[in-house]
Amino acid sequence: MDRAQRAARAAAYERARPEIVDHVPTSARRVLDLGCATGTTGAALKQRQAAHVTGIEIEPEYAREAASRLDAVIEGDVATATVNGPFDALIAADILEHLVDPWATLRRYAELLEPGATVVVSLPNVNHWSTFAHLARGRWPRRPEGIFDATHLRWFTRRDALDLVRQAGLQPHTVVRRRWLLTRGSRLDRLAPPITPFTFQHVIVATR
């Protein structure tokens, strides 16, 4: 990863994700973080509770940094990595859309979970208004991060995302719409109505 690429992705991949951490039970003791990036989300969990956090990360530079923060880091592809369970919490935050077969991958990791384990999945919402704005101009954007991250291989609406979770044998019980009105991260986001066209990301919480 070159310096310019890393800088462009920093806000999305190198910060702790409170919107994810908030849904991991404080009782969780063995957590698996798929695509853990630099390990900041797992580190936030460890600061909050006595949890052993294992991360999987394909980017070597990120994996090295994550290893300084987490209990164990496997450098490799989430789709093929070998990890030993069981776990009582699984995080798949903005990783499944990067995989060739996210359905099979999520099923495989779900099998490593204890009964009653919590799974937190976040996925970008392709049904956001900006998608249609770009298509109206006759182009599909490719960006360093976000809904139109150039490394995305799969695309999900809310219904698609829920189907992905359910087919893995997981029962979703909470769906949080993260809103984006004009410029993501601006103060105006709080004015966006909680409806699909203004949702840039779904955070889905499920139980094994």
What domains are there in the chain, each with its CATH number? 3-126+153-179+201-207 (3.40.50.150)
CA distance linking residue 93 with residue 75, whole number of Å: 17
pLDDT band at 12 (very low <50, low <70, confident <90, very high): low
DSSP, collapsed to helix, strand or coil, labels residue 122 as strand
Nearest CA-CA partner of 122 in 202, 2, 46: 202
pTM here?
Answer: 0.90
Q: What is the DSSP string of 13-42?
A: HSS--HHHHTTS-TT--EEEEET-TTSHHH
- The answer for residues whose C-beta is within 8 angstroms of residue 95's C-beta and 6 or more apart is 34, 35, 78
pLDDT tens per residue, range 137-157: 999 989 988 899 999 999 999
Tell me: the pLDDT tens digits for 35-92? Answer: 999 999 999 999 999 999 999 999 999 999 999 999 999 999 999 999 998 999 999 9
Phi, psi angle pair for 106, to nearest 5°:
-65, -35
Beta 113-124 vs 87-93: how paired, if at all? Answer: parallel
Q: By C-alpha distance, which of 7, 51, 205 is closest to 43?
A: 51
**pLDDT tens per residue across span 178-203:** 876 666 555 666 666 677 788 889 99
